[in-house]
Chains A and B, each alone.
Chain A
Amino acid sequence: MARSRTETVILYAVVISVIVILVFPLYWMFNTSLAPSTQLRRFPPVFIQPEPTFAAYERIFNERPVGLWLRNSALVALASTALSMFVSILAGYSISRIRARGSQAIGLFFLMSRMLPSTLIIIPLFVSFRQFQLIGDLKSLVLAHATFITPFAVWMLKGYFDTIPSELEDAAMIDGCTPLSALLRVVLPLSAPGLAATTLYGFVLSWNDFVFARTFLVANQDAWTVNVGVASLKGEYLTEWNEIMAGSLIAMLPIVLAYLFLERFLVSGLTAGSSK
């Protein structure tokens, strides 16, 4: 369909101005992270840094334990995702393939668990974790994050297993595979993209958590995740905004990259369980 010249100009003008407005906060974050501290408490604001500096980045790594926070976040995300994936692969496969009495109800339970408010579940978890002396320990987060990764992963994986014809496993078993090795050697390699996407998203969910990390770890600074640490840089009276922006950018960069890969998986994965 041909468009007139005016229409094209208007379209571009609209697209560019809308995008500038929506993305500006991210630019402002980046711009602030490159600003020298002296500039932050002065007007007018500087929209393009004449002499960008990485001083804020250097300071947060040298004077604040950002490296440690990043390591903690990564450890928790890896462990909670591994734990969730192990149980979710088996459960998702079971729900996808075998009609057993009660397994529908279990599947529905996982679906409903995705709606669980974390501000409710955190109360009894806090009580139990304190009893087992897990408060202040990264292990508490690994378990807490599994509460929201597992229900999601079961459904996303079930969706992938549904797309793989079960004749393939039947054939493998006729050739002498046990059901478990058919799952491991036939189904899992075929669902590699789905497994990768689910794992990556589990990692993202864990990395993004704030409420559990803040509540369970607040007293133990060495165990802080990057979200808790960066949020703590906001001071009561004086905030070095260039440092907090540099920290935020570093903390969100892996997540933004993950989303670029995940986008098309997420549209189908998040809506799993509803009709198309």
Chain B
Amino acid sequence: MTSQSFGQGEPALRRLNGVSPRWSLWQPGNRQLFAYLLLLPAVLLTAAIIVYPILSAIDLSFQRIKIAKLGRERAPLTLRNYEELFQSPEFFQAIWVTISLVATVTLLSYVIGLATAVMVNQQFRGRKLARILVAVPWAVPSVMAAIIWWWLFDSSFGLINWALVRSGLSGEMIPWLSTPGAATFVIVIVMVWKGYPFISVIMLAGLQSIPLELYDAAKVDGASAWGRFRFITLPGLRSVRGIALILIMLWVFRDFPIIYLLTGGGPQGTTQTLAIMTYQEAFKFHDFGYAAAIGVITLIISVVASWFMVRRSDEPLF
């Protein structure tokens, strides 16, 4: 009994002297160890499911391998996949399709996103509901977004074809997804519909951070509505604009479900982005080495783009 009560008093005494009661991971000397122990599970998991796969994809891209198996004999290292890739018109078409899709979808999403954000930032009754409704397509999963528009653009019984024929804008039903150009148009529409709300939500947050006094002062000085937008609103959004645009671009760049479900890259490769081409080469043509080479190039472009995103931050990351 006595020793126990003595034992309870002792740590308090030590604490008073500024000495920690026992060896602790929080002690300055051990804190680094504690940091590493906490990071360990995440590092092990990502090593197994991210780092190792990336390295093995890079390795695959230097082998002529049809269907790859772990543990089987390695094919000799070769640059053939890359050589073939850089001589393939299909690859350059995919690069062009990717770049133009990213540019078009980003631009349209930005314009619609900004316009809707400005719209629901006005004072009016029902504004809360309007904000939710404007943002709602963001929440629709890509697969479902593709399915909804699939039906709207259906070649035999789709509403859009019916409306075009009915209004006389088109003489016949258009087979949207099998017509080059028209298929691209559909993909752009679906992506913009799914992508603009993200810009809108971020821009709305940016708009709300602009002090209203600026607008009042500009009005007093006689600035027009366009002048206020041009010289107050747009500069005020500078801080959120970059990140919103880059996230949208990366999303379009890497999208799989929308294009895969609607066209699979067709017709004649006119909607085949690098991401779709990677997938088709691997899982349709079982050309794993070649597919990995396309994937590695996609990765390099992604990393450069995201590095740009990290670099542009003025504050330190931590």
Give bound CA distance, A216 to B36, whole Å. Answer: 34
**Chain B residues, Cβ within 8 Å of A276:** 239, 315
CB distance from B246 to the nearest CB of A (A): 8
A93 to B42 CA separation, bound complex (whole angstroms): 12
Closest to A242 in B: B151
Q: Which of B45, B296, B307 is close to A87, meaning CB atoms less than 8 Å apart?
A: B45
Say whether B302 contacts A119, CB under 8 Å. no
* Chain A residues in 8 Å Cβ range of B159: 28, 45
Using known A-B contacts A19-B133, A28-B159, A100-B31, determine if residue A112 contacts B306 with beta carbons closer than 8 Å: yes
Interface presence of B303 (CB below 8 A): yes
CA A130 to CA B68, docked complex, whole Å:
10
Q: How far is the CA of A86 from the CA of B45 in the complex (A)?
A: 11
B130 CB within 8 Å of chain A: yes
Q: Are the CB atoms of A118 and B254 closer together than 8 Å? A: yes
Q: Which of B32, B49, B141, B307 meets A100, CB within 8 Å?
A: B32
A4 on interface, CB distance cutoff 8 Å: no
With both beta carbons as reference points, the residue of chain B lying nearest to A97 in the complex is identified as B35
B142 on interface, CB distance cutoff 8 Å: yes
Interface string of A40-57 (1 = CB under 8 A from B): 111111000000000000
Central interface residue in B42, B240, B303, by most chain A CB within 10 Å: B42
**Is the C-beta of A101 less than 8 angstroms from some C-beta in chain B?**
yes
Distance in angstroms from A208 CB to nearest chain B CB is 4
Q: Let me know if A25 and B149 touch, CB within 8 A.
A: yes
Chain B interface size band reads: 35 or more
Q: Contact mask A101-138 → B, CB, 8 Å, 1/0?
A: 10110111111111111111111111110110000000
Which residues of B from 253 to 294 have beta carbons under 8 Å from A? 253-254, 256-257, 260-261, 275-276, 278-279, 282-283, 288, 291-292
Q: From residue A263, how far is it (CB to closest CB) to chain B in Å?
A: 7
Q: Size band of the A side of the interface?
A: 35 or more
CB distance from B198 to the nearest CB of A (A): 8
| B147 nearest in chain A by CB position | A248
Q: In this assembly, does A255 line the interface, its C-beta being within 8 Å of a C-beta of chain B?
A: yes
Chain A residue nearest to B55 (CB atoms) is A124
Q: How far is the CA of A260 from the CA of B140 in the complex (A)?
A: 12
Residue of B nearest to A88 (CB): B42
User: Is B164 located at the chain interface by the 8 A CB criterion?
Assistant: no
Q: Which residue of the partner chain, among B31, B60, B140, B157, contacts A124 with CB atoms under 8 Å? A: B60
Residues of A within 8 A of B151 (CB): 28-29, 32, 241, 244-245
Stretch of B21-29, B81-89, B180-188 that contacts chain A: B21-29
How would residues 9 to 25 of chain A score, 1 for a CB under 8 Å from any chain B CB and 0 otherwise? 00110110011001101
Closest 6 CB pairs between A and B? A120-B295, A259-B139, A100-B35, A91-B42, A94-B38, A124-B53
Seen from chain B, the residues whose Cβ lies within 8 Å of a Cβ on chain A are 11, 15, 21, 24-26, 31-32, 34-36, 38-43, 45-46, 49-50, 52-54, 56-57, 60, 68-71, 116, 119-120, 122-124, 126, 130, 132-144, 147-152, 154, 156-157, 159, 162, 166, 193, 201-202, 205, 216, 239-240, 242-244, 247, 250, 253-254, 256-257, 260-261, 275-276, 278-279, 282-283, 288, 291-292, 295-296, 298-299, 302-303, 305-307, 309-310, 312-315, 317-318
